[in-house]
Amino acid sequence: MRAEDAPLIRLEDYRPSDWLIDTVDLDIALDERETRVRSLLGLRPNPGGQAGAPLVLDGDELTLANVKLDGVALGAGAYSVTPQGLIIHAPPQRGFTLTVETVVNPSANTKLMGLYRSSNAYCTQCEADGFRRITYFLDRPDVMSVYTVRLEARKAEAPVLLSNGNRVATGDVIGSDRHFAVWHDPHPKPAYLFALVGGALDHVREDYVTAEGNKVELAVYVEPGKAGRAGWALDSLVRCMRWDERVFGRNYDLDVFNVVAVSDFNMGAMENKGLNIFNDKYVLADPQTATDGDYASIEAIIAHEYFHNWTGNRITCRDWFQLCLKEGLTVFRDQEFSSDERSRPVKRIADVRTLRATQFSEDAGPLAHPVRPRAYKEINNFYTPTVYEKGAEVIRMLKVLIGADAFKRGMDLYFERCDGTAATIEEFLACFAESSGQDLSHFARWYEQAGTPTITASGRYDAAAQTYTLDLAQSTPPTPGQPEKLPVVLPVALGLVGKGGDLPLHTGSNAYAGNGVIVLDRPSLSVTFSDVAEPPIPSLLRGFSAPARLELDLGDADLLKLFSTDSDSFNRWQALQSVATRALVETGSGASNRVWLMGKARELAAALDLFLREQAAADPAFAAQVLRLPAPADIAREIGRDVDPERIHAAHRSLSAEIGNALAARLATLREALAESGPYAPDASAAGQRALRNEALGLIAIGDPDIGARLAQLQFAGADNLTDRLAALAAMTLIPGAAREELIARFAERYASEPLVLDKWLMAQALIAEPGTLDRVKELMRHPAFSLGNPNRVRALIGGFAANLTQFNRADGAGYSFVADIVIALDRTNPQVASRLLGSFRAWRMLEPGRRALAQSALAMVSNMPNLSRDVADIAERALA
């Protein structure tokens, strides 16, 4: 396929389905190579569709065994089979049943879409359009049906048989070695939420009673022998269920809720109704095989999938253009849950780092698209940071703009009004317009317009009049297909910081929404604050109140004051980041030299020294975030054009080394003070202490490699948990030499039978910023721990390399050719993983001309390959456009 051959699907072309499917009865006889699927569909014409239309069912790589209408076999002329589906030419214009038998081969399914095998189990992935790889169907989210599913398998092979809903029957198939289970899901759902699992799995379980008093059996299923690692996921599930009852008033609605972990999965996890299927990376945890970061991710993703039960399943999407309706909202909900379970400011900082690293970079390049795209060729390429993370930011802004009370009333209205429907963004926004009495039509532009706005701010103090005037302006750069941009609604949360803290805010301006928020909804705006008794320092975009870049005319001295005094924790962190970013941009772009940078390093070190001495102990997790400088990739994005990755990397190394040296004594004392007492616990407070200790280790290692290596080796030997061991390995990867290679080897020996831990080992090596890394990665591809067939392994080693700023962007182009060759090889077996990897090229246009040309030719090489999947062809085409 060439991308230009694939049809462009447009939002404006949406039409309701001509047919509806009220009921689906599936009878699935699982077999490794020949699984037989009998599907009985209860169909009727859709009153909102076109009368007399043929019935066009979607299908993909299916073998049709037979088809019957109202129980009678259809003659050859009555239907056609195409590569895209099954057409019943003249169906009766009334309700009827269609029985279709298909045969599929789960073992041959390397795309991991539809029914496939993972380890020795059967499992499914149907979002976005995988159900059509199981049986012929109207595979679109606005066709919602009640499913009854009979699963049958050899008892020895698949003692566990799971599907959506409640189990209504089980039994043996008389006279055979097979057994069956029947599942019924009373809630109508689109096909993308269908799931089944069959296999020999272990599980942990717990009884739960909802706030409404309904009993639910919760269970987490894992590969045999791994039940000891499923407890944290189950514990997280119970906590997020309670939270959703308390905060959003949402109760669970079936008798069982099952989570299953599989080791081959294209994404993180999937919210199938009552049967969430997870990448095992986001379920399995014990102190020896999971890091603090893993524990936090598991908690967040368990919550995310569970929250989809209401925002996604009970209320689903009318069409895939509305993907952000479920994803942005559910990310917002999981972020709020994690904030309540852990530290809110630290969670916000972590989320903003991710947003900038992934979404801002997407928005600044050729793959930029609106939160609600208007057209697509391959929907699987739109599960993006823009739809997910920027989608969540839009909800967060909505809450700030209309206030918490109106937001809550709007959510309640949405749940009440749209329950059981396939909804749109318009219907969602209407609930909040109603609850707040505000016109949200301008706000809705966030869903239509791509690109990251820049807010420019400057302030003037008038001592005589005791006023402070803030001039704000916004602009958004052009993005593909959107050359002209209009102003968006930007809630700018702010404070005016005086010597003794926040000054009172008095203004007569109607742009000022109260609660410390200015609404910048036009190209520019001035707000004058009165009774300002002293010259203030503005603290803008507090809590990162809008997903925008901020250009503020504050000097480093003022920023450092904000760092030490701002009442908003996010902006304290941001202030220091801004000083470091500015220094690195100056040096990384060649505008200033190393000597100048060393001066900045000393200023930063002095501020950090004071902070660490006085405040680190009170909030180690926050202090760890403060110590972590912006990444080289952040600096590249800030520079934005003619980027030379080597120069940025050198500046980053120099700054880190100088700060590490200047703070050596302080960091050592801090590490001792934070020394662990008692056994490992994954809670936020203990994790915060480890995070700070390990940030300190990294800085020490850059500043003084000898001391760093000694400390890292000691830590590795003495650690009782993976977090500390991995941090030791990461610190050692910064220090070339035999000791590093020895630690790398010891790590591999220790975790030889732990694929998920070895993924971290693969990635740590792929990220080494040295010219030898490409050869190392090629060598590691031959290591028994690596397999091109497993998405986690590919993401760890090849994805890790593609995220290595200096080595992926090698001046000789070898990094680009390597990744491009792998994309092509992978495309034959797993197009989704291949196209995500190709997305690593998304920032190629900002590179200096030499690298830009080499990246472009690697992309063109991919694009010109014959027989590309639609997934890869689409990314290649858009990246080059």
In the complex, which residues of this chain contact ligand 0A1 (CB under 6 A)?
A: 125, 127-128, 266-271, 304-305, 327, 380, 383, 832
> 327 vs 634, which CB is nearer to ligand 0A1?
327
| 650 Cβ contact partners less than 8 Å away, ≥ 6 residues apart | none
Cα(571)–Cα(559) distance, integer angstroms: 9
Helices 323-341 and 231-248, packing angle to 10 deg = 100
Out of Zn ion, ligand 0A1, none, what residue 163 binds, judged by CB under 5 to 8 A for its kind, is none
CB of 427 vs Zn ion, minimal distance in Å: 19
> 125 vs 869, which CB is nearer to ligand 0A1?
125
CB of 422 vs Zn ion, minimal distance in Å: 16
Grouping H, G, I as helix, E, B as strand and the rest as coil, residue 767 is coil
Out of Zn ion, ligand 0A1, none, what residue 719 binds, judged by CB under 5 to 8 A for its kind, is none
> 383 vs 529, which CB is nearer to Zn ion?
383
CB of 625 vs Zn ion, minimal distance in Å: 26
Where are the alpha helices (H) located in 266-322, listed in sequence order?
292-307
Grouping H, G, I as helix, E, B as strand and the rest as coil, residue 201 is coil
Cα(214)–Cα(202) distance, integer angstroms: 26
Span between the terminal Cα atoms of the chain, in Å: 17
DSSP state for residue 76 in the 8-state scheme: G
Amino acid at 521: D
Out of Zn ion, ligand 0A1, none, what residue 267 binds, judged by CB under 5 to 8 A for its kind, is ligand 0A1
Is 305 a residue of the active site?
yes
CB of 282 vs ligand 0A1, minimal distance in Å: 10
CB of 337 vs Zn ion, minimal distance in Å: 13
Cα(770)–Cα(71) distance, integer angstroms: 67
Out of ligand 0A1, Zn ion, none, what residue 798 binds, judged by CB under 5 to 8 A for its kind, is none
> 329 vs 444, which CB is nearer to Zn ion?
329
Out of Zn ion, ligand 0A1, none, what residue 380 binds, judged by CB under 5 to 8 A for its kind, is ligand 0A1
Sign of CA dihedral 269, 270, 271, 274: negative
Out of ligand 0A1, Zn ion, none, what residue 269 binds, judged by CB under 5 to 8 A for its kind, is ligand 0A1
> 109 vs 592, which CB is nearer to ligand 0A1?
109
Q: Which of 305, 362, 638, 695 is catalytic?
A: 305
| 425 Cβ contact partners less than 8 Å away, ≥ 6 residues apart | 322, 324, 325, 372, 444, 447
- Structure tokens given for 151: 């699963």
CB atoms within 10 A of CB 869: 21
Out of Zn ion, ligand 0A1, none, what residue 266 binds, judged by CB under 5 to 8 A for its kind, is ligand 0A1
Out of Zn ion, ligand 0A1, none, what residue 16 binds, judged by CB under 5 to 8 A for its kind, is none
CB of 284 vs ligand 0A1, minimal distance in Å: 17
Q: From the CA atom positions of the chain, what is the Rg in Å?
A: 28
> 317 vs 576, which CB is nearer to Zn ion?
317
CB of 515 vs Zn ion, minimal distance in Å: 30
Half-sphere exposure of 435 (CA within 13 A, CB side): 25
> 123 vs 153, which CB is nearer to ligand 0A1?
123
> 330 vs 386, which CB is nearer to Zn ion?
330
CB of 126 vs ligand 0A1, minimal distance in Å: 8
Out of ligand 0A1, Zn ion, none, what residue 545 binds, judged by CB under 5 to 8 A for its kind, is none
> 244 vs 327, which CB is nearer to Zn ion?
327
Closest CA to 279 of 294, 266, 291: 266
> 134 vs 635, which CB is nearer to ligand 0A1?
134
Out of ligand 0A1, Zn ion, none, what residue 270 binds, judged by CB under 5 to 8 A for its kind, is ligand 0A1
- Structure tokens given for 228: 């000891």
Helices 664-673 and 594-615, packing angle to 10 deg = 30
CB of 830 vs ligand 0A1, minimal distance in Å: 11
Q: Quickly tell me which residue has 């505000």 as its tokens.
A: 438
| 42 Cβ contact partners less than 8 Å away, ≥ 6 residues apart | 21, 22, 23, 24, 95, 97, 145
3-state SS, one letter per residue, for 783-817? CCCCCCCCHHHHHHHHHHHHCCHHHHCCCCCHHHH
- Structure tokens given for 266: 């294209």
> 320 vs 570, which CB is nearer to ligand 0A1?
320
CB of 383 vs Zn ion, minimal distance in Å: 8
Binding site for Zn ion (CB under 5 A): 327, 330
Closest CA to 763 of 793, 808, 724: 793
Q: Which helix (H) or strand (E) holds 199?
A: strand 196-199
| 738 Cβ contact partners less than 8 Å away, ≥ 6 residues apart | none
Out of Zn ion, ligand 0A1, none, what residue 99 binds, judged by CB under 5 to 8 A for its kind, is none
Q: Answer whether 158's CB lies under 8 Å from 247's CB.
A: no
CB of 117 vs ligand 0A1, minimal distance in Å: 17
Instruction: List C-alpha distances in Å: 538 to 105, 452, 460, 470, 475.
Output: 63, 22, 10, 9, 20
> 235 vs 327, which CB is nearer to Zn ion?
327
Cα(232)–Cα(280) distance, integer angstroms: 13
| 727 Cβ contact partners less than 8 Å away, ≥ 6 residues apart | 690, 693, 694, 697, 698, 715
- Structure tokens given for 639: 């520079």
| 417 Cβ contact partners less than 8 Å away, ≥ 6 residues apart | 427, 431
The beta strands (E) that lie in 599-692 are given as none
Cα(234)–Cα(764) distance, integer angstroms: 29
CB of 248 vs ligand 0A1, minimal distance in Å: 17
Q: Which residue is nearest to ligand 0A1 (CB)?
A: 267
Helices 594-615 and 569-588, packing angle to 10 deg = 160
Q: Answer whether 500's CB lies under 8 Å from 451's CB.
A: no
Active site residues: 305
